[in-house]
Amino acid sequence: MHVISELSAVLATALFIFALYWMNDPKTARRGVRAGITGMTVAVVATWIQPGIIHHGWIVAAIVAGFVVGIPLSQVPLTAVPQRTALSHAFGGLAAGLVGTAEYFLWLGEPGGAHFTPFRTGALVVEVILGFLTFTGSLMAAGKLQEVRWMPQRPVTYPGQNIVNIGVLAIAVGLGVVLVLHPTAPWSGQVFIAIGVLALVFGVLLIIPIGGADMPTVISILNAYAGLAAVAMGFVLDNKLLVTAGALDGSSGLILSIIMCRAMNRSFTNVLFGAFGKAQPAALKGEQKEWKQESVEGAAQLLEQARNVVIVPGYGMAVAQAQHKVRELYDALTKRGVNVKFAIHPVAGRMPGHMNVLLAEANIPYSALVEMDEINPEMPQTDVALVLGANDVVNPAARYNKGTPIYGMPIIDADKAKTVLAVKRSKNPGFAGIDNELYVGDNTWMLFGDAKAVLADLVKQFGGGGIH
């Protein structure tokens, strides 16, 4: 029996590595999903047939419940994918925290406490802290992304916030050290519960000061935590498969976090403790410039006469559910021989890769989706840059204005295009509360309105034999 579980663990690990390897190309990526499902099935069956497993009814009931909730969760609209992802990090953290709690009290009930080696108890503490803080933190993130009414969307800060947060975590870790030294004392159960509660509280406190623009980074960090919680569970249960699969998830979350941080020119600590969006709005050079507004007819004419058009999508496109109208515009322009590309900033949207998925949903070929670093050298030859609900990622102030919180963040050089058309919902500043200099640029014309409605009007201009 031991041989079966060892071999199945090796097989499942290999399949999981292949699953991720095949994600290097959209052509082979679906094969990766099949490899992942196979690996997971092997692991579940090999565990289930172990002789010590006797309560089969319980297992069947929990698995059926998982399917009942999981299937509808996989059918959410793609604009809701960031929330779903945060929710699944929460579930992952919850599972780790609960298994850790169960193991602790199981071993506490056994005479002698032979299970409590310092390494194992330490791993147990790490598992429970990471699991429970990921649980509440991810629930908070999901709530903010879903824009639950009683939850403030903007970052909430108060004096001494970081001291409170770090203090709560430090007490939890300190109690963890106490537990490693005295795992079976009469009061150890209470200490364990206190650690769990503090971790739950810390998860909430951690996300309170986080705003929407930081969500791609925060989701990635929570992803890494969920993976590391699984690794710690593997240490506790002496199970190598948990360690390898958790390490794969953890390294994925780590790499994505690094990429997101770099794309915002910020550090981890700055994202978690810096409370973006608090900074004072940066003053514009010289006197306040005025917007120049363009009519839909004029914008359509500009687009039709262009040879190269670059569309810069942002969170506003997702909010307006405008991706299908984008596709119609893309079709209308391509049919007229206009070369249309999409400039994708790594942190556009609310999670890594958010824009790519939305545009792929609208059937836009992925060969038209171009990364920031590749599109920027082409911007000076671009006739029209159409900015669609993107804000901070095209703000030229990031290049030189040290007073703005986005200073140093790499941006898409939309302002270098010959003409800029910017679609914006209202005349208010964006999420980060920063004025965007692009909108008052000499070559910029604004189109005010809901992205979907503006695009629908634009597409209408191209219907019935062009513009006159």
Partner 1 sequence: MTATDFGSMLFVFVLATFIGLGVIRRVSRLLYTPLMSLTNAISAIAVVGSIVVTGADHPLTIRILGAVALFASMTNIVSGFMITDRMLKMFKKQ
Residues 201 to 260: which contact partner 1 by CB under 8 A? 219-220, 223, 226-227, 229-231, 233-235, 237-256
**Nearest residue (CB) to partner 1, 213 versus 233:** 233
Shortest distance (Å) from residue 105 CB to partner 1: 7
Q: Is 70 in the site for partner 1 (CB under 8 A)?
A: yes
**Nearest residue (CB) to partner 1, 170 versus 197:** 197
Strand-pairing partners, residue 371, are 344
Shortest distance (Å) from residue 52 CB to partner 1: 5
The pattern of x and - marking residues 13 through 32 that bind partner 1 according to CB under 8 A reads: x--xx-xxx-xxxxx-xx-x
Shortest distance (Å) from residue 381 CB to partner 1: 23
Q: Is 69 in the site for partner 1 (CB under 8 A)?
A: yes
Shortest distance (Å) from residue 175 CB to partner 1: 20
**Nearest residue (CB) to partner 1, 99 versus 275:** 99
- Supply the angle between the helices 161-181 and 118-146 in degrees, to the nearest 10: 150
**Nearest residue (CB) to partner 1, 44 versus 156:** 44
Rounded to 5°, angle at Cα 100 from 98 and 103: 110
**Nearest residue (CB) to partner 1, 366 versus 400:** 366
Per the residue annotation, which of 25, 214, 383, 392 is the catalytic one? Answer: 392
Shortest distance (Å) from residue 433 CB to partner 1: 27
Tokens 């106490």 -> residue: 178
User: What is the signed CA dihedral for 68, 71, 74, 77, rounded to 10 degrees?
Assistant: -90
Pair type for strands 384-388 and 419-424 = parallel
| C-beta atoms surrounding 268 within 10 Å | 15
Residues 126-185 that bind partner 1 (CB under 8 A): none
The helix/strand/coil state of 413 is coil
- 392 in active site: yes
Cα–Cα distance for residue pair 376/360, rounded to 1 Å: 22
Q: What tokens does 317 get?
A: 């496109």
CA dihedral over 263, 432, 420, 361, signed as positive or negative: positive
Shortest distance (Å) from residue 93 CB to partner 1: 9
Q: Which of 11, 360, 440, 456 binds partner 1 (CB under 8 A)?
A: 360
Q: How many residues in the shown chain lie near partner 1 by CB under 8 A?
A: 114
Stretch that binds partner 1, among 34-42, 190-198, 279-287, 435-443 (CB under 8 A): 34-42
Radius of gyration for the chain, computed over Cα atoms and rounded to the nearest angstrom: 26
Residues 44-63 that bind partner 1 (CB under 8 A): 44, 47-48, 50, 52-56, 58-59, 61-63
Q: Which of 2, 3, 74, 149 binds partner 1 (CB under 8 A)?
A: 74
Cα–Cα distance for residue pair 244/248, rounded to 1 Å: 6
Residue 219: half-sphere exposure toward Cβ, Cα within 13 Å: 27
**Nearest residue (CB) to partner 1, 52 versus 160:** 52
Residue 160: half-sphere exposure toward Cβ, Cα within 13 Å: 3
The helix/strand/coil state of 466 is coil
Cα–Cα distance for residue pair 95/135, rounded to 1 Å: 9
**Nearest residue (CB) to partner 1, 84 versus 266:** 84
Cα–Cα distance for residue pair 358/330, rounded to 1 Å: 14
Shortest distance (Å) from residue 183 CB to partner 1: 13
Cα–Cα distance for residue pair 336/331, rounded to 1 Å: 9
Strand-pairing partners, residue 424, are 448
Cα–Cα distance for residue pair 433/455, rounded to 1 Å: 25
Taking phi over 0 as left and psi of -120 to 50 as alpha, with beta for the rest, 353 belongs to left
Q: Is 11 in the site for partner 1 (CB under 8 A)?
A: no
**Nearest residue (CB) to partner 1, 300 versus 310:** 310
Residues 398-437 that bind partner 1 (CB under 8 A): none
Shortest distance (Å) from residue 159 CB to partner 1: 35
Cα–Cα distance for residue pair 411/396, rounded to 1 Å: 7
Which H or E element spans position 121?
helix 118-146
Stretch that binds partner 1, among 74-82, 149-157, 402-410, 429-437 (CB under 8 A): 74-82
Residues 88-117 that bind partner 1 (CB under 8 A): 88-89, 91-92, 94-96, 98-99, 101-103, 105-106, 109, 117
CA–CA distances in Å: residue 310 to residues 36, 129, 292, 333: 36, 46, 20, 11
Residues 292-351 that bind partner 1 (CB under 8 A): 344, 346, 351
**Nearest residue (CB) to partner 1, 116 versus 439:** 116
Q: Which of 356, 395, 401, 444 binds partner 1 (CB under 8 A)?
A: 356
Q: Which of 110, 267, 371, 429 binds partner 1 (CB under 8 A)?
A: 371
Catalytic annotation, residues: 392
